[in-house]
Amino acid sequence: MAALTQLDAAYRRAQADPRFTDELGELLRDRVGRPTLLHRVPRLAESLAVPGVRVYLKREDMAHTGAHKINSALGQVLLARRMGKSRIVAETGAGQHGVAVATVCAMLDLSCTVYMGAHDMRRQSSNVVRMQLLGAQVRAVHTGRRRLKDAVSESVRDWVTNVDTTHYVFGTAAGPAPYPRIVRDFQTVIGNESRAQVLKSEGRLPDYVIACVGGGSNAIGMFHPFLDDPQVRLIGVEAAGRGTETGWHAATLNSGTPGEIDGAFSYMLQDEDGQIARTHSIAAGLDYPGVGPELSHLKETGRVIYRTATDDAALRGMRALTRGEGIIAALESTHTVGYLLELAERGELPPDSVVLLCLSGRGDKDLDIAAQRLGS
Ligand SMILES: *Cc1c(COP(=O)(O)O)cnc(C)c1O
């Protein structure tokens, strides 16, 4: 609690200090490549076969390191430096957050240790090499199921043991307060830019804003600036894996129940004894049994609705974007495309709709899966 209280106070001071927000803005522009493109995709829109529909992609895959994760990694590492910390610890699942944190640490000259489940290290070996090239120490976690959940526990243990020198950079808008708020604030750049970009192109707000939901950081970052615009429908798409009825999925807000996970009270996938359930998704970044508390709150108020897309729908979305638009997107992100294709097929997408999709990352990491599942 002492570490969290200290972080909360430091963050509030930083947020009110223009030197901090100006430096963050400059680095986002000069080192991350923001603002990212808003890209209209007419061929994808045409394939929906609904008259007058216009679809836009927010291209977070064009940010440095290829996903939205660097927005929050950069903000949190700058905050750590301001707090006088010289060492960063982070957890990673598929390795995307670890790579973003290692990149920022290399940029700003801080020492970096990334905890990763031994099981994940085997299946995501190229990201392990990336982190090591960037100068991070990658520590294998052999406890529990040797996955993301266990890497979180090890990172927290390291942080509280070395809190004088060390800061913990969390990968999604979940975990104990103040992390869900900090990560949300740093990711809100996605929604702020998108809102202005759609207004400029269309002269009005979008009818639909759609984002995939793992822990929830790209979704809450995209949705937050639209929360007070009731005409904008906000849809979070969760991973239905092999189908929510099969038990092989990660649809936390659709199929989960409230409970405590990683220091927050939120929806989670658990058994009758409150043990965390097994999850599955073709997209490693969505394969998490929890979700951020703010997205849970927005489920209960009804402001955001949550739907699902299966592994097959995500693959179909990947094919539609590659063949149709020349974009190889991450399988996490293509859950939104798969969902949109199905929405149009069911006849539920009204003519002349303006649709904004968050393309959270690029698909280089998914090439092996694509080769297996999509063939040549
Ligand atoms: C990590 C990741 C996600 C899921 O994380 P959120 O916190 O839910 O955004 C989605 N897309 C990509 C490309 C990712 O790397």
- pLDDT tens-digit readout, 89-117: 999 998 999 999 999 999 999 999 999 99
Ligand 1 atom at minimal distance to the Cα of residue 187: 9
Q: Classify domain 1-31+69-171 at the CATH class level.
A: alpha beta
- Degrees, nearest 5: CA angle 24-112-131: 95
* SS3 of the chain: helix, strand, coil, percent, to 5: 50, 20, 30
Question: Which uninterrupted H or E stretch holds 108?
Answer: helix 96-108
**Cα–Cα dist 44/22, whole Å:** 37
Query: Which three-class secondary structure state does DSSP give residue 97?
Result: helix
Task: List the domain boundaries for the chain.
Answer: 1-31+69-171, 36-66+180-374
Query: Which three-class secondary structure state does DSSP give residue 89?
Result: strand
CB atoms within 10 A of CB 187: 26
**Cα–Cα dist 239/212, whole Å:** 8
Question: Which uninterrupted H or E stretch holds 235?
Answer: strand 233-241
Ligand 1 atom at minimal distance to the Cα of residue 61: 13
Provide residues with CB under 6 Å of ligand 1. 67, 69, 96, 172, 212-219, 285-286, 330, 332-333, 360-361
- pLDDT tens-digit readout, 308-318: 999 999 999 99
Q: Distance from the CA of 94 to the center of ligand 1, in angstroms?
A: 10
**Cα–Cα dist 28/129, whole Å:** 25
**Cα–Cα dist 166/85, whole Å:** 5
Residue nearest to atom 14 of ligand 1 (CA): 285
Question: Which residues are marked as active site?
Answer: 69, 91, 360
The CA R_g of the chain, rounded to the nearest whole Å, is: 19
Question: Which uninterrupted H or E stretch holds 188?
Answer: helix 179-202
- What is the widest separation between alpha-carbon atoms in the chain? 60
**Cα–Cα dist 311/284, whole Å:** 11
Q: Distance from the CA of 283 to the center of ligand 1, in angstroms?
A: 9
Q: Which residues contact 152 (CB under 8 A, 6 or more apart)?
A: 91, 115, 175, 262
Q: Distance from the CA of 251 to the center of ligand 1, in angstroms?
A: 14
For a substitution probing ligand 1, which of 172, 213, 262, 336 has the most ligand atoms within 8 Å of its CB? 172
H helices of 61-147, where? 69-82, 96-108, 118-123, 125-133
Give every residue of the chain whose pLDDT is below 50, as ranges: none
- pLDDT tens-digit readout, 323-361: 999 999 999 999 999 999 999 999 999 999 999 999 999
Quote the pLDDT of residue 376. 60
Question: Any idea which fold 36-66+180-374 has?
Answer: Rossmann fold (3.40.50)
Q: Distance from the CA of 214 to the center of ligand 1, in angstroms?
A: 6
Inter-residue contact 308 to 314 (CB < 8 Å): no
Assess whether the region 1-31+69-171 and the region 36-66+180-374 belong to the same CATH fold. yes
**Cα–Cα dist 344/48, whole Å:** 6
Angle between helices 179-202 and 293-301 (to 10 degrees): 60
| Count of all residues that appear for the chain in the document | 376
